[in-house]
Amino acid sequence: MAEHRTRFDGLRTGHRSVRNWLGKAILVWLVLVGGVTGRECPGAGQDQRPNIVVVFIDDLGWGDFSCFGNREAATPEIDRLAAEGLRFEQFYVNAPICSPSRCALTTGQYPQRWRITSYLNNRADNARRGVADWLDPEAPTLARQLQASGYAVGHFGKWHLGGQRDVDDAPAIARYGFDQSLTNFEGMGPKLLPLTQRPGQQKPGRIWADAERLGSPVTWMPRSRITSGYVEAAMEFAKGAVARRQPFYLNVWPDDVHSPYWPPVTEWAEGKRGLYHAVLQSMDQQLGRLFAFLRENSGVERPTLILVCSDNGPEPGAGSAGPFRGAKTQLYEGGIRSPLVVWGPGLVSVEKRGAVNVESVFAAFDLVPSLMRLAGTQFDEPVLADGEDVLPTLLGQSVDSRKAPLFWRRPPDRKTAPPALPTPQPDLAVRRGQWKLLCSYDGSARELYDMDQDRGESVNLANEQTEIAEALARDVVHWNVSMPADRGPELGAAAVREAAETGAADR
C-alpha cells in the first residue's frame, strides 16, 4: 500500500483546505448543475444543492423488484419510485461480492486498488486470500468530499469495509467522512444486532452477538424489522440537517435479503425462496417510510435524489437474476448487473419520468463523480478516478454510456465453491460497447458475448470474432496486472486440482 499512500499524500491537506470554500462550492453548483438539471438558479448565496440518498441493498438480484419483472413478490414502494423516476437496465456493480462492491461505490475506484477483492473476513482468512483487513482511511471517499463541501453525511446499515470477526481495530466509520453512523455486525461503532424468531418459538434468539465488542451502543431488535431501525435513524439525522438548512447525504444500506432470512413471524414462508420473498416484501415496506419522508420534504428548500440498487447478484436459490446467467460471486451478468432506480423531482427530466433506459452502460463507481458534480464539488487533483461523470444520463438528459471499458476480477476464493459453483469460473471480465469477454488470468479460455443480441450469455463467439476477442483479452489482462495482486491464481489452481481429484474419486 506504500505506492497508494504516496499517490494520496496530499489528500488530507486538501480536505482541510476544502472546508473553507463552501461558498465557492455553492457557486460551482450553480454553474455546473443548473444547466444539467434545468433548475432555475437560486439567488446569490442561497444553497439549494440537492439532498442525496443511496439505498444499496445486500444480495438483491436484478429481477427481484416487481418493476424489474418479479411476479412472485411485490415491491410497491420501490415500484412507485421507478414510476416517478427512471429505471436503468444496463447498470453494473464493480464486483460480484459485497466488500469490493461497497469499496467501489465509496471511493469511485476499482476496489483492487485497495486490495479489497472479496468479502472481508477474519485476519487469517484475509491473509490467506491476499485481502486487506479494512479499507485504508487514506482512500478518497464520496462521503468525505461531500462532508468537506458542507453536507451532513450519515451511514445507516451494513458497512463491511472494516471491523468484522476478529478485526476489532479497524478505523471508525467516521474516518471515511461520516458525521453519524449506525451499522450491523460488520462495522465499527454504534450498531443494530438481530433477534431471530420463527413461528412457535417463544423466546427470540440472537446471532452475531460477538460483534458487541466492535463498538457501542448496541441495540438488539428483531431482524425482521432491522431496516426500520436504520430508516428511523436516517430520518432523524436528515431532520437535523433540514433544521440547520443543510443539504444531507445518506447511505441507507439494508442487509435484510442477505441470508439468513428472518421475515416477520406473521409472514413466514416455506423454503429458501419463499423466506427470501417474505423478507424482500417486508424490506420494501420498511423503506417506504423513508421514501414517504423524503417525498414530503423534497423541493421544500432543495430537491432530493434517491438511488436504489444492489451490491451484487443474488444468492443461488433465493433471489432472481432475471434473464441473466450466473449469480453472486460470478462474473457472468447475474453476478454483476444490478437494478437501478433513480428518483428526483426537479432533477430528473420531467418527460423521462417513468421511462426505462435500456442503452446506457455504466457502473457503481461512476456514481461517485456524478454525485459530486450534482453537489458542486470534486475530488482534489491527486486522486486517480476510475469512475466517470454520467450525471446527464442519471437525470434522463442523455443516454450516453461511460467511455472507458469496465473490468472485473473474480474474488480470489471463488474459482469454485461447491455446491453452488461446482465448475471452475472465469477469472477476468471486460465490457466494452456491445461486447463482453470472460477469460482466465492469462487471457485464455475466452468467452465472448454480444450483449446487444445475447444478454443471457448463451452463444460464445470467441472463435468467430477472433480479433475482438484478442483485443479485449489483451486489455483485461493488462488491466489486471496493473492492479495490486491477490492470491486468486494460487487459490484457483488449488481449487481446480481439488475438484479434479474429487471428480476422479467419484468416478
User: In the predicted model, is pLDDT for residue 486 greater than 80?
Assistant: yes
Instruction: Check whether residue 428 and residue 452 sit in a common domain.
Output: yes
Q: How far apart are CA 98 and CA 314, in angstroms?
A: 11
User: In the predicted model, is pLDDT for residue 358 greater than 80?
Assistant: yes
Helices marked H in 439-487 — which ranges?
Answer: 466-482
Mean pLDDT of the chain: 91
Asked if residue 261 is part of any domain, the answer here is: yes
Phi, psi (degrees; rounded to nearest 5) at 325 = -80, 140
Asked if residue 326 is part of any domain, the answer here is: yes
pLDDT digits (tens, 9 = 90+) for 187-240: 999 999 999 999 999 999 999 999 999 999 999 999 999 999 999 999 999 999
Domain finish residue from 404, 438, 462? 404
pLDDT digits (tens, 9 = 90+) for 34-84: 555 544 444 445 688 999 999 999 999 999 999 999 999 999 999 999 999
pLDDT digits (tens, 9 = 90+) for 418-430: 777 788 999 999 9
- Higher confidence at residue 438 or residue 13? 438
Instruction: Check whether residue 388 and residue 446 sit in a common domain.
Output: no
Angle between helices 22-37 and 367-375 (to 10 degrees): 110
Instruction: Check whether residue 257 and residue 379 sit in a common domain.
Output: yes
Asked if residue 15 is part of any domain, the answer here is: no
pLDDT of res. 421: 79
- For residue 17, the tally of other CB atoms under 10 A from its CB is 12
- Higher confidence at residue 506 or residue 226? 226
Instruction: Check whether residue 357 and residue 447 sit in a common domain.
Output: no
Instruction: Check whether residue 427 and residue 354 sit in a common domain.
Output: no
Asked if residue 45 is part of any domain, the answer here is: no
Angle between helices 367-375 and 98-107 (to 10 degrees): 30
DSSP string, 228-255: HHHHHHHHHHHHHHHHTT--EEEEEE--
**Cell 421475515, residue?**
263
CA torsion, ordered 283, 288, 290, 294, to nearest 10 deg: 150
Domain finish residue from 371, 404, 437? 404
pLDDT of res. 298: 83
pLDDT of res. 19: 38
Angle between helices 226-243 and 271-297 (to 10 degrees): 10
Asked if residue 235 is part of any domain, the answer here is: yes
Domain finish residue from 379, 404, 429? 404
Yes or no: say if 413 and 99 are a contact pair by the CB < 8 Å rule.
no
pLDDT of res. 45: 55
Asked if residue 346 is part of any domain, the answer here is: yes
DSSP string, 390-432: -HHHHTTS--PPPSS-EEEE--TT-S-BTTTB-SPPPSEEEEE
Phi, psi (degrees; rounded to nearest 5) at 398 = -155, 165
- Strand segments, DSSP code E, in 290-396 are 304-310, 337-343, 355-357, 362-363
Three-class SS state of 98: helix
Instruction: Check whether residue 226 and residue 291 sit in a common domain.
Output: yes
pLDDT digits (tens, 9 = 90+) for 290-329: 999 999 988 778 999 999 999 999 999 999 999 999 999 9
Asked if residue 35 is part of any domain, the answer here is: no
Q: With cut-offs at 50, 70 and 90, classify the pLDDT of residue 499.
A: confident
pLDDT digits (tens, 9 = 90+) for 250-294: 999 999 999 999 999 999 999 999 999 999 999 999 999 999 999
Instruction: Check whether residue 341 and residue 480 sit in a common domain.
Output: no
Q: Give the single-character DSSP code of 453.
A: T
Instruction: Check whether residue 341 and residue 272 sit in a common domain.
Output: yes
Q: How far apart are CA 94 and CA 36, in angstroms?
A: 26
From the CA atom positions of the chain, what is the Rg in Å?
22
Q: With cut-offs at 50, 70 and 90, classify the pLDDT of residue 1.
A: very low
Instruction: Check whether residue 250 and residue 143 sit in a common domain.
Output: yes
DSSP string, 59-94: T--TT-SGGGT-SSS--HHHHHHHHHSEEEEEEE-S
Give how many domains the chain has, as a whole number. Answer: 2
Cell numbers describing residue 466:
477472433
Instruction: Check whether residue 458 and residue 350 sit in a common domain.
Output: no
Supply the CATH number for residue 65's domain. 3.40.720.10
Domain that holds residue 139: 50-404
Instruction: Check whether residue 412 and residue 466 sit in a common domain.
Output: yes
pLDDT digits (tens, 9 = 90+) for 132-180: 999 999 999 999 999 999 999 999 999 999 999 999 999 999 999 999 9
Asked if residue 7 is part of any domain, the answer here is: no
User: In the predicted model, is pLDDT for residue 20 greater than 50?
Assistant: no
Supply the CATH number for residue 418's domain. 3.30.1120.10
pLDDT of res. 479: 98
User: In the predicted model, is pLDDT for residue 25 greater than 50?
Assistant: no
Instruction: Check whether residue 170 and residue 220 sit in a common domain.
Output: yes
